[in-house]
Structure 1
Amino acid sequence: MMAAGASLLVDSEDVAWFRGRPEGARGAAAALGRRIGLREQRTAELVLAVAELAANITKHAMDGSLLLRVVRNETVAGVEVIVVDSGPGMPDVPAALRDGMSTAGTLGIGLGAVGRLADTFDIHSQPGLGTLQVARFWPRPLPPSVTGEPLVAGITRPIAGEQVCGDAWAARTDTVAHPARPSEERQTAAPADEGRLKPSWSTLTGTRPVSGNAKMPSPRFSLARPGRSTMPVRAAVAGPGHGIMVMSCDGLGHGPMASIAAQAAVHTFRTGDARTPEQAVEQMHRALRGTRGAAVAVARIEPDGRLLFCGVGNITAALVTSTARSILLSHPGIVGHQMHQLRTYEHHLPAHGVLAMHSDGLSERWGPADLAGLLHHPPALIAAALLRHAGTRRDDASAVVAKVAR
């Protein structure tokens, strides 16, 4: 499914959400373009597009927000603009993109102009539900390394009133020329905390201790369809070829201290040499000691569509198609503090489905029908749809989506 070199990944740095004051995004876009080194003409084009998108939020949208962020690969940086609103939606998107379409007393050329100015532009709109838009602006001339659409993308949003987010996500590629035999793979167990006094669950979470015969919440169980392996793989082996590693992290609590934990997890994940999800979780467990700790989930997508998964804490992970949502099992614990013996679970990522992971800043009250009309869109737009549908402003929120190359 994924040929070597075909998986395009870009890292993103969420800069600022503009909600209720989208007009402020124009000045921020100009500053951001200059900061990353876009030329004057390209920065002016970015600002014009942001101004059009912000004006549309003010004129048409209900509860609309605009996100500005930096996107980059190993050689170049650009700017991505994501617009999310909750209505009223567009009954005819192609018509809205045509120049000369008149809406609300304007000439209606905004979206057509945005599509021409951006290097990539995608939109999904549904009457009564709202509109999602993603526009990406790279330097000109367009570098060859950024052609195509990334296979993995995520989105984060801090709790209302905070400037930093305690949620994070990351992705990286990993090429295995000669896979190890199962007997050569290290049996995985949570690192021992020699001589360290483990803090109680109530101390870490701020909740009351469980008393009497009450039990801690049980881990989520896999609801994978029959015929797919859900048994733990004691010696998970990374297959040959160009695999993709994806991580979702929720630092305990919110605010700057949660952000420190999440960013430590991201740094360790990106710079580590782990080949399997459980190895990656182990490395982050060691790196997060001394922080608040975090819930973490890691998946590895193999070239043949196999998916290896290991999660600790309340990160929701699911394989989603237009008709089914299969929840992947995670273990209880806090990465960096308390962790039991890890297991990797093997699944298969459907060719026309996605892997979606999100923090508990999103409720689980969503299903395949909520994404059915979106699965052919880029991962960034699908992640934005999840955030709109299930996100809460009473907690940090994040979602990351991965697809297979076709």
Structure 2
Amino acid sequence: MGPLSTGWTTSPHAGESLRVRVEEQSAAAGVRRRITALAERLGFGGERLGQIQLAATEAATNLAKHATQGEMLLRIVRDGGAAALEFVCVDHGPGIADVPVSRTDGYSTSGTLGLGLGSIERLADHSGVYSRPRIGTVLYARFQPPADVPPAPPAAAAMPPIAGLTVTLDGEEECGDAYTARLVDGAVYAMLCDGLGHGPLAARAARAAVRATHEVASPSRPADVLRCVHRRMASTRGGAVAVAAIEPAAGRVRFAGVGNVAAWIVGPERRQGMISVPGIAGAHAERIREHAYALPRGAVVVLHSDGLTGRWRLTDQPGLLGRDPLLIAATVLRDAGSRHDDRSVLAVTTSGWG
């Protein structure tokens, strides 16, 4: 496959991402109402809107009926000028014993999410599921507005190997974390910012970091991108920022960071942390440095804010490394635990491209 280029994949704007806890049957009605509002923003209507409502309601019903600590993220995702509607389900058990069998129409066993899984996958333009018995399940479904659905081949073959998730601190309307990433000529250039604190001022700082990243021509060295971000954030309260260039063909990751955004290279055998310097981008970041790290074949690069702890291990999840980056991001978000803060995670896979 030749080099691919995409637009910037960027975290949702304010009001375009909602988190819904789904632990009772009544929650399904709320999910249906909220995803309808997001779908109508993107121009969905008629039969296609009904299909989205059916898929989201079925997913919520299954979570409430069978799962433990189930929740759904409903959001608009953007890649360049294109937008799509998406829901992501996560839970802490009991998991699905046999995912292929659970896709069979009419299959349902107590303690699984089998009911409706096959229909959700057929209704969605893109979907994925990863599950482990007694651990839990992550599931996503994405719906593209009719004008954005390419004829053929299926869009899944051309989707970039990038996915992220953001969760706003309870009680806040804006997320103080943001990410953006782009695939250019066989390399991914990624940035994640954790605005200092939370709320509107943190969100403003994170948006400034995203804008600055977009202003720097790709490809550029991570240290140069970080310096530009640092200057652009000077009029904000600042934050922690990590910038990475992931280059599978060269077998390396180039990285520069300021503050406490966690950055990991996760291979089949182990995960390796990447080094950030102390400081606050936009305020104190005089010693910006760039480091290069070996990138094992098939590895995943994960960036996440300190709203997540380090208590996660992809090596404990058989087969996950080779899967969709959104399944990986959702698994980290579920397993890492959380602090009283906004949360964000960005995953970049390296299998099958570059």
TM-score calculated relative to the size of structure 1: 0.78
CA distance in 2 between counterparts of 1:10 and 1:257 reads 23
Structure 2, unpaired ranges of 5+? none
**Equivalent position of 1:199 in the other structure:** none
CA distance in 2 between counterparts of 1:375 and 1:56 reads 26
The letter of the residue matching 1:159 is L
How many residues align structurally?
339
- What is the deviation of 1:170? 0.6
- The alignment partner of 1:338 has SS state of coil
Deviations 1:342-395 (A, max 9, x none): 211112322211001111111112234334431121111101101111131521
**Which of residues 226, 241, 261 in structure 2 aligns to 1:296?**
241
Cα distance change of structure 1 residues 383 and 171 upon mapping to structure 2, 3 Å threshold: same
CA distance in 2 between counterparts of 1:143 and 1:10 reads 18
Select between 110-119 and 67-76 the one with higher mean Cα deviation: 67-76
- What is the deviation of 1:405? 4.6
**Equivalent position of 1:249 in the other structure:** 193
1:260 aligns with 2:204: yes
**Which of residues 323, 335, 338 in structure 2 aligns to 1:377?**
323
Q: What does 1:118-197 correspond to in 2, within 5 Å?
A: 118-140=124-146, 142-143=149-150, 146-148=155-157, 149-174=159-184
- The alignment partner of 2:234 has SS state of coil
Deviations 1:177-227 (A, max 9, x none): xxxxxxxxxxxxxxxxxxxxxxxxxxxxxxxxxxxxxxxxxxxxxxxxxxx
The letter of the residue matching 2:246 is I
CA distance in 1 between counterparts of 2:186 and 2:131 reads 34
**Equivalent position of 2:297 in the other structure:** 351
The letter of the residue matching 1:143 is P
Deviations 1:92-116 (A, max 9, x none): 2122111111335999541111010
Counting aligned pairs with the same residue, the percent is 42
The letter of the residue matching 1:18 is V
Cα distance change of structure 1 residues 106 and 125 upon mapping to structure 2, 3 Å threshold: closer
**Equivalent position of 1:61 in the other structure:** 67
1:167/1:359 contact within 8 Å kept = yes
Cα distance change of structure 1 residues 372 and 252 upon mapping to structure 2, 3 Å threshold: farther
CA distance in 2 between counterparts of 1:361 and 1:312 reads 16
CA distance in 1 between counterparts of 2:254 and 2:114 reads 47
**Equivalent position of 2:118 in the other structure:** 112
**Which of residues 231, 234, 246 in structure 2 aligns to 1:286?**
231
Q: What does 1:1-400 correspond to in 2, within 5 Å?
A: 3-5=2-4, 10-13=9-12, 14-20=16-22, 21-104=27-110, 109-140=115-146, 142-143=149-150, 146-148=155-157, 149-174=159-184, 241-273=185-217, 275-302=220-247, 303-400=249-346
The letter of the residue matching 1:15 is S
- What is the deviation of 1:340? 2.3
TM-score calculated relative to the size of structure 2: 0.89
Structure with greater Cα Rg: 1
- The alignment partner of 1:163 has SS state of coil
- What is the deviation of 1:82? 0.5
**Greater relative CO, 1 or 2 (CA 8 Å, sep 6+):** 1
- What is the deviation of 1:8? 8.0
Structure 1, unpaired ranges of 5+? 175-240
The letter of the residue matching 2:321 is L
Cα RMSD of the aligned pairs, angstroms, is: 2.3
- What is the deviation of 1:399? 0.8
CA distance in 2 between counterparts of 1:272 and 1:139 reads 30
- The alignment partner of 2:146 has SS state of coil
CA distance in 1 between counterparts of 2:118 and 2:223 reads 46
